[in-house]
């Protein structure tokens, strides 16, 4: 049985979404031993999460960020301090963890995750997907805005396969804090901007239509694939659906073609 390490960084507002995500991973990767690590500064619903993980047979470890390392970083309701924690996760993980998948809480798993976890990224810090084929203009703007003129892609930070030992060697608190102080007025997608600006050249590119499918852009995916990446293809091949943006599938007025799928998993997770 393959062991797969999973990383999340949430606050109390995203516990239900985390449950839905964890349940969807378990259902679609039934032959894997899953260990969820949750990195947070203060989480009042720890017992609730641990009880849920125990019921669906996922090991769970709560990791507490003891010092406030990002008090000077840009923060909003949409981008709370927790978004930065993934950048330092390698400093808090147990020594035996050599590889881990980080996932945002607004994601749904619809196929087995082993193909991502088994990728060889020994020469990289991360594996991640870019949405540049969907929004090439935005990709160019981000490169200019962050002066990433030689970068090939602007990567989404919602799904990351992390090479933990290499991250421990190359990523330092001082480098992160220095970059934030020097660029805080230019950070629009804060954690993502930092990831791309400092470490974009150390990221292994993976296909977004498989590992980080932007649920807002289903029509664009179909157009650029000549109709191949339709709903049937997504159900068969896509591993992670990412509900990017402000509209979220747990809201009552969400109406995308994937709304029912998400609400179905959420309903099942809530019954556990």
Separation CA 213–CA 248 (nearest Å): 14
Distance separating alpha carbons of residues 69 and 177, to the nearest angstrom:
8
pLDDT, residue 137, reads 42
Contacts of 49-52 spanning 24+ positions with Cβ under 8 A: 49/15, 49/18, 49/19, 52/19, 52/22, 52/269, 52/272
Q: Where are the domains of the chain?
A: 2-130+156-171+203-270
Instruction: Give DSSP secondary structure letters for 130-191.
Output: E-TTT-HHHHHHHHHHTT-TT-S--EEEEEEEEEHHHHHHH--HHHHHHHHHHHGGG-SSHH
Angstrom distance (rounded) from CA 231 to CA 260: 13
Q: How is residue 29 written in tokens?
A: 């990767």
Closest CA to 263 of 243, 246, 245: 243
Structure tokens at 155: 């990567």
Tell me the mean pLDDT per 10 residues along the chain, length 272: 92 94 98 94 88 98 76 57 78 95 97 98 97 59 47 85 97 84 73 88 96 95 94 97 94 91 97 94
Residue 252 tokens read as: 């009552």
Q: What is the pLDDT of residue 152?
A: 64
| pLDDT at residue 202, as a whole number | 95
The SS3 call for residue 215 is helix
CA 138: distance to chain centroid? 20
Integer Cα distance of 253 and 247 in angstroms = 9
Which CATH number among 1.20.120.1080, 3.30.2000.10, 3.90.550.10, 3.50.50.60 corresponds to the domain 2-130+156-171+203-270?
3.90.550.10
Q: What is the pLDDT of residue 144?
A: 46
> Two tokens at 42?
């203060």
Q: Which helix (H) or strand (E) holds 266?
A: helix 259-270
Burial 69-82 (b: 16+ CB within 10 A, else e): bbeebbeeeebbbb
Torsion-angle region of residue 226: left (phi > 0), alpha (psi -120 to 50) or beta?
Answer: left
Q: Distance between CA 168 and CA 165 in Å, rounded? A: 5
φ/ψ (deg, to 5) at 96: -75, -10
Tokens representing 233? 């293809």
């Amino acid at each position: 049985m393959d062991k797969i390490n999973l990383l999340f960084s949430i606050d109390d507002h995203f516990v239900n979404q985390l449950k839905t995500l964890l349940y969807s991973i378990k259902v679609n990767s039934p032959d894997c031993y899953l260990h969820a690590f949750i990195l947070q500064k203060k989480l009042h619903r720890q017992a609730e999460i641990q009880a849920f993980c125990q019921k669906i047979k996922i090991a769970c470890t709560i990791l507490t960020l003891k010092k406030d390392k990002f008090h000077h970083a840009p923060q909003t309701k949409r981008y709370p301090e927790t978004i930065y924690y993934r950048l330092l996760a390698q400093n808090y993980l147990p020594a035996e963890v050599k590889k881990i998948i980080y996932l945002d809480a607004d994601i749904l798993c619809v196929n087995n995750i082993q193909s991502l976890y088994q990728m060889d990224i020994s020469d990289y810090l991360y594996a991640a997907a870019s949405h540049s084929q969907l929004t090439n203009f935005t990709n160019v703007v981000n490169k200019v805005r962050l002066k990433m003129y030689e970068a090939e892609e602007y990567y989404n930070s919602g799904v990351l396969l992390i090479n933990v030992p290499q991250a421990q060697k190359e990523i330092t608190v001082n480098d992160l804090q220095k970059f934030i102080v020097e660029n805080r007025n230019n950070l629009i997608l804060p954690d993502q901007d930092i990831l791309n600006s400092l470490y974009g050249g150390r990221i292994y590119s993976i296909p977004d239509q498989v590992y980080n499918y932007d649920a807002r852009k289903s029509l664009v995916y179909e157009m650029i694939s000549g109709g191949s990446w339709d709903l049937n293809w997504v159900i068969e091949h896509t591993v992670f659906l990412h509900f990017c943006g402000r509209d979220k599938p747990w809201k009552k007025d969400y109406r995308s073609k994937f709304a029912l799928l998400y609400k179905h998993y959420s309903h099942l997770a809530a019954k556990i």
